[in-house]
Every structure is written in structure tokens, then in C-alpha cells.
Amino acid sequence: MKRRNFLKNAGTAALVTTLPAPLVRAATPDDFHIAAILSFSGAYGLIGNDMRKGAEQAVAERGGTVLGKPIRFSWEDDETKPQPAVQKASRLLGEGAQMIFGAVSSASTLALQSLSTQRKVPHLVTISADDAITKRDGAPYSFRTSNTLGMEINMSMEFVKSRGLKKIYAVTADYQATRSGFERFEELAKEAGVEIVGNDFAPLGNRDYSVIIDKMIRSDADGIAVMATGNDGITFVKQAGQVDLGKDKVIFGPVLQDDIFAAATGPAALGVNSGVRYHYSVDNPTNNAFVAAYREQHGEMPSSFAGEAYDGLRWWLDVVEQSDSWDVETWVEAFANSVHETSVEGRKEMRACDHQAAQVGLWGEVVKGEAPLPELTMKINEIFPADRLFDAC
């Protein structure tokens, strides 16, 4: 898979090269301070708000403490832009934050990763999917506990082959991670004998897909691949539904729908297929308890983004607690060699070679739900084992 190293990007480098040297922290601080840099506005605002709910639940269920000290969040909106992400995280690290949590967009996450490396501060990623975030011998203080875009693209192509689709028209968010994802999808399509009959790039926050959808209608494609998520994916599916694009063509995407997105999309979401990073229907004791507590607190089922944030932060805090230490290097080494046996998804294993969690992949379709499920719900149709989605270290 082609991987682009954002850390070599001059714009990102400019954000971090003038930052002060790594901080010296007290051996036993007054609290465990988390610099939480997420999107609360912009194209990914819906995602950030759900991540906050999941993260706060992970802290609440342990009594709000770790190593005997209270856990404190500082929530900041990066506006889905790298520069505000780094500026706000830098300020919080200057105030003594012990870790960075975030971001949503891969561009912001990669910028935070560079900051994390320079400051030698742990960085937890629970949603950004760009493959560049976790690479062999990459950023030593960053860890991702959620899906990679590569594994989601692999699932998308498995879906194309299982449905017997032969011609695909794609729309891709004009954003580095999704561009890379489409390139990988093209490679897999060629290997599988699937023809890409068209692809259009749309800017983040695009509000009008009518021209693209018209070209899709006029094409002989039997499948529509949507390399977009969040509000962009919602907008596309809504507008596609207005002209019944899904009537004769199968609409799918690596992270196109989940229950929260489907609720925002409405009836047009029915029949749309998508990779799912987490789902409340996974049946194991940890997930069942999480879902029950989340529903009691928020009156709804947890989204993929809430579930992944809960799972990743819970894992990290458990490792910190077990380390019985306030030494950052001890935390990093322990997490790099840890296994999350009680993940909400069953089991996750942190790969020391690239700091990426090996895990199963979920694929589903939006269907009509029956109480107590949402009116529109993701039905998980396939669970892919980790060894089909990740290359060996």
C-alpha cells in the first residue's frame, strides 16, 4: 500500500519546529491531565461529540481516577484543522497535560503525532484511519486502538467481490487520507478484475453532489464507492436518495454509515453498506455492560466513535494503572506490548512494530430496526478476522 509521510510535509513541520523542549514533570502530579483535541465543529463535528461521550464514560466507570489521582480532561475543538490542533495541544502540554487524546481528522492527528514525538508525550488515537499514522518503527509515543483505512479498504473490496460488482463509480473526499484510500481501492480493483469507470474528488464540507450524482446515474456502474465519512457521507447519501441512486446501484463505503449517521441521513440510508468500527450488537460481557451504561446515561445506543473512544481510553488507563508508575517511558513500553482481552470488540493486541492494534473488522448494512434498536440500524453481516486485514509485523 502506498503510504505518505505527513511528517515530511513542510506545513506540518512548521507547526512544531519552534516548540519548546520536552517538559519536565513532577513525579506525582496533582491529577492525570488529558489534552483532548477533537472536532466539535466542521465536517467531523458529529464524530467529536460522540468520542467525548465514550471517553468520559471510560473515566467515569473507574471512579474518575488513575494511580490514585483524579483524571481531568481539557476539551478543545481543532475545527478539523491541523494548526489549531497543534496550537491548543501545545498550550495544554505547557500546563502539564500527561497525554494527548485525538484527533478526528487524520491531518490533525498526524500533526499531533509530530508534537507528541517532539515532546515525548503519549498520544492515543481512537478514530483517525490514515495508514501513515501507524507504520513500522514510526512515531514512538503514538498508539492507535481503532481501524486503519487499509483494513477498511480491504473489507470494501471483499464486499465488492462477494456482491459480484463489476463496475464502480467512486466519489472521494479531497483529503489526503481518503485519496490514499482510493488509490489502494484502485489497486485492489485491478487485481480483482473490477473496473473503475469514474471517480470525482469533492472538497471537505461539500454541500452539493448533484453533478457527481448525475454522472453516476448516466454511467454503467453497478456499484457506487463513497470514500467519505461524517457530514460529507451523510450529505452524499441524502442527495443520492433524492434521485433513487441506490435503486439500481449498490452504495457502499469504508466508513460511510453507522447508526448515528443513518439517523442523520434518514430513509436514504436504507440498503447502504459500510465498514463499521464498532457496533453495540457485538455480544460479549464488556460490550453489553458498556451499552447498558451508555444508554442509561445518554438515552441512545453508542455510535462507532463513542465505542472506539471508550475502548481505547479504557485500555490505556488500565495499562497506566497496572504500571504503578508515573514514568512516561514505562507507560509507553507497557502499552506497546499489551493485549486488551476484554475489549468491547472481543480482543485487541497492540503490535510493538507499528503501535497499531490488531483487531477484527466489522461490515454491515443499514436496515429497519425493531425496538429497542434505532429505527435505522446497522446489521453486521460479516466479521473479518485480524489475519485477513493486517500484514504480519
Tens of pLDDT along 52-86?
999 999 999 999 999 999 999 999 999 999 999 99
What is the distance of C-alpha 170 from the center of its chain?
Answer: 21
Using CA atoms, how far residue 64 sits from 52, 70, 72, 262, 379, in Å, is 15, 6, 8, 32, 34
What integer pLDDT is reported at residue 330 of this predicted model?
Answer: 97
- Mean confidence (pLDDT) of the chain: 92
Tens of pLDDT along 232-291?
999 999 999 999 999 999 999 999 999 989 999 999 999 999 999 999 999 999 999 999
Please state the rounded mean pLDDT for residues 176-188: 95
Please state the rounded mean pLDDT for residues 156-185: 96
Torsion of CA 238, 54, 334, 330, to 10 degrees: 120
Please state the rounded mean pLDDT for residues 215-228: 98
Residue 346, phi then psi, degrees to nearest 5: 115, -65
Confidence of residue 372 (pLDDT cuts 50, 70, 90): confident
For 295, the grid coordinates are 444508554
What is the distance of C-alpha 21 from the center of its chain?
Answer: 30
What integer pLDDT is reported at residue 27 of this predicted model?
Answer: 72
Tens of pLDDT along 294-316?
999 999 999 999 999 999 999 99
Beta bridge partners, 339, equal 349
Confidence of residue 7 (pLDDT cuts 50, 70, 90): very low
Contacts of 123 (CB under 8 A, 6+ apart): 99, 100, 112, 113, 116, 139, 141, 142, 143
Report all structural domains of the chain as residue ranges with CATH numbers, in order of start: 6-148+284-359 (3.40.50.2300), 150-280+362-388 (3.40.50.2300)
Please state the rounded mean pLDDT for residues 226-232: 94
In contact, 233 and 256? CB cutoff 8 Å: yes
Percent of the chain with pLDDT over 90: 88
What integer pLDDT is reported at residue 24 of this predicted model?
Answer: 44
For 388, the grid coordinates are 485477513
Please state the rounded mean pLDDT for residues 28-46: 92
What integer pLDDT is reported at residue 9 of this predicted model?
Answer: 42
Taking the model in full, what pTM does it have? Answer: 0.86
What integer pLDDT is reported at residue 46 of this predicted model?
Answer: 83
For 338, the grid coordinates are 499489551
Nearest partner of 278 among 234, 344, 205, 335, judged by Cα: 344
In sign, the C-alpha dihedral spanning 293, 298, 303, 307 is negative
For 68, the grid coordinates are 490514585
